[in-house]
Structure 1
Amino acid sequence: MADVPVALIHVTDVRRITPRMARITFAGDGLDAFPTWPDQQLKLLFPRPGQSAPRLPDVPADGDAMRWYQAFCALPEDERPWMRSYTVRSYDPDRQRLTVDFVLHGGFVLHGGAEAEATTGPATRWAATAAVGDTLARYGPAADYARPLPLGTADWLLFAGDETALPAIGSLVEALPPGTRALACIEVANPAEEQRFTTAADLTVRWVHRDGGAAGPGDALPAAVRALPFPSGSVFAWLAGEAGTVRTLRRHLVEERGVDKRQIDFAGYWRRRLTQDDAPTAEDLAEARERIEAAPTAQQ
């Protein structure tokens, strides 16, 4: 198993870029040689109530990532940090700063951060009240997991996802070379949640607004993608967001649009009524096997 770095990180800046998205910047050990690439994933560790910083195992991160993770899981549950997956929105090598965008859910949006609904998770609770000087820990990323841009030989690119996919989509489209044709279909709550991307690519963005018309995030996206007029030529698709929605989109592209499965990169970032602490479902496991067995043509 690859050596995965573990280190404490400290908040240096907090900005609310939209009503439901907080952009938080971190400094910390190891960010002078931080491996970076578009759509880069890492784990963030959030402190339990009463902790000023996440408790980490005494086992050093000395190259044996499995040994460290086993020690992490052995911590008492009420002391063990919550671990959540996030996308690196940007990295500044000159200032050695790491930036992550957090989607804010539940009561923190509706009540301006004063209260939290029972369904609000620990990451949202932390991000909604984060301040300069607050401390998290990071687990990763490891350079061994770096992935190239999803370009391949397709004539154009399709990006589709809900607001949880925005950080990854932003990092991807901003890294595209000039002349790349790309279409992004992104579902957000309302027009206030739209973001601007700086890119050299020929990018068209179709925003899908729930505005109370859908039951929850991801519900409006499949119909919007089905209604998209596709440009001519071959397509490579990148899909992310709620796991069930991603499966629906993938079936549509394969069965109704005739897209080769190898031309689709996909990831279920979250699951309805389940968190990352819950065991994977049979569909989750099948999806993971398929991703491993059939890597997209664009990333070979």
Structure 2
Amino acid sequence: MAARPFAFFDLHVVRATTLSPGFARVTLGGPQLDGFGHGGRDQRIKLFLPAAGHSAIAVPRDADDWWTGWQRMHPAERAVMRTYTIRELRRAEREADIDFALHPHPGPAADWALTVRPGDPATLLGATQDENAGIGFHRPDGTDSVLLAGDASALPAIAGILAWLPAGTPVTVLAEITHPDDRQDLATRADARTTWLTPTADDPQPLLTALRAHPLPGTSPYAWVAGEASCVRALRRHLVTERGVDRRHITFTGYWRRHASEDTLIQEAIAAAA
């Protein structure tokens, strides 16, 4: 029988660190990470945390049909669920880092990241194979360079992609952060040029402004774009209509939506499924 592509991993907090004004990092560990699949790049996982007032993480354990079971649970009892990127996996130490972008009005996951203590529980729903459906970055044949563009929510994925790219790959990175001190050392073997951007009153969407002003790398680039949904759509539209980039050479993902919490998006998904 073939192994199931996804599984639940019960872990515990090893340490929690505030990296900068806009980022916190929580390191999770445990022996179950031995079976965790991680192909690098923008590897997505579901993070489950105890509901308010609860110590246990209540989530259906059938990884093949967890979504149906989770919907049926009472919202006050089921685990808090959020989608994140694995910032780094260290198999030898059985440790995985998850970075949390901190907003002026943080939600339950960011609050958890700022108050969590070593030993506290966390559960991941993740892949069991290194190459898996949780990876969105797939560079097509025939492309000769890479464009990475995203806001703070996409920075962990951008870092993972840069760490994975082969040596010498021409890469242009446009990274929007909330505070100048949120800049990070993005280790890579690629030939990467990074432009750091911060929103201002005069330019609340500096990613689009910067993309319009930047030449694209190479002659046939692959573009990976992620962040706030409306901004991502505008970036993709610009690449296709104004730059002539092949639609098949663009991966775009709305990680969040302005004026909508992830709980709102989850309820919309549940209503749509119903």
RMSD: 2.1
Is 1:26 the counterpart of 2:28? The answer is yes
Q: Separation in 1 of the partners of 2:71 and 2:122?
A: 17
> In structure 1, how many angstroms separate the alpha carbons of the residues matched to 2:224 and 2:213?
17
* CA-CA distance at 1:211 after TM superposition: 5.0
Letter in 2 for 1:168: A
1:104 equivalent in alignment to 2:102: yes
Q: After TM superposition, list the pairs within 5 Å mapping 1:115-130 onto structure 2.
A: 117=105, 120-130=106-116
Q: Secondary structure at the match of 2:75?
A: coil
Pick aligned residue for 2:8 from 6, 9, 15 = 6
Partner of 1:181: 170
Q: 1:14–1:130: 8 Å Cα contact kept in structure 2?
A: yes
Look up the SS of the partner of 1:183 in the other structure. strand
Structure 2: gaps of 5 or more residues: 269-274
Structure 1 runs of 4+ off > 4 angstroms? Answer: 146-149, 211-215, 279-282
Superposed, 1:1-300 pairs within 5 Å as 3-37=5-39, 38-57=41-60, 60-61=61-62, 65-66=64-65, 68-106=66-104, 117=105, 120-143=106-129, 144-145=132-133, 147=135, 149-150=138-139, 152-211=141-200, 213-215=202-204, 219-279=205-265
Corresponding residue for residue 113 of structure 1: none
Shift of 1:25: 0.7
Shift of 1:65: 1.2
Which whole-Å CA distance do the structure 2 matches of 1:281 and 1:54 have between them? Answer: 20
Give the corresponding residue for 1:293. Answer: none
CA distance in 1, matches of 2:249, 2:267: 25
The question of whether the paired residues in 2 share the 8 Å contact of 1:45 and 1:54 is answered with yes
SS of 2:181's equivalent in the other structure is helix
Q: Distance in 2 between matches of 1:53 and 1:126?
A: 14
CA-to-partner distance for each residue in 1:210-266, whole Å, 9 max, x for gaps? 255555xxx221111111123441111000000110000000000000001001011
Aligned length: 261
Contact 2:151 2:228 in 1 (8 A): yes
Deviates more, 1:191-200 or 1:145-154: 145-154
Q: Is the 8 A contact 1:43 1:140 kept in 2?
A: yes
Q: Residues 201 and 232 (structure 1 numbering): CA distance in 2 closer, same or farther, change over 3 Å?
A: closer
TM-score of the aligned structures, taking structure 2 as reference length: 0.88
Q: Greater CA deviation, 273-282 or 12-21?
A: 273-282
Post-superposition shift, 1:28?
A: 2.7
Q: Quote the offset at 1:159 in angstroms.
A: 0.2
Closer, same or farther in 2 for the Cα pair 1:3/1:212, shift >3 Å? same
Structure 1 Cα separation of the partners of residues 25 and 155 of structure 2:
12
Q: 1:142 to 1:33 in 2, by over 3 A?
A: closer
1:271: how far off? 0.5
8 Å Cα contact 1:151-1:157 kept in structure 2: no
Unpaired runs of at least 5, structure 1: 107-116, 283-300
Q: Among the aligned pairs, what percent are the same residue?
A: 37
Instruction: Tell me how far apart the structure 2 counterparts of residues 28 and 212 of structure 1 sit (CA, whole Å).
Output: 45
Structure-1-length-normalised TM-score: 0.81
Q: Which amino acid is 1:39 matched to?
A: D
Secondary structure, aligned partner of 2:82: strand
The 8 Å contact of residues 157 and 237 in structure 1, kept in 2 or not, is answered as yes
Alignment partner of 2:127: what SS? coil
CA contact (8 A) 1:157 1:183 kept: yes
Question: Which residue identity is paired with 1:101?
Answer: D
User: What is the CA–CA distance in structure 1 between the aligned matches of 2:177 and 2:265, rounded to whole Å?
Assistant: 28
**Displacement after TM superposition at 1:280 (Å):** 7.5
Query: Residues 146, 244 of structure 1: CA spacing in aligned structure 2 closer, same or farther, 3 A cutoff?
Result: closer
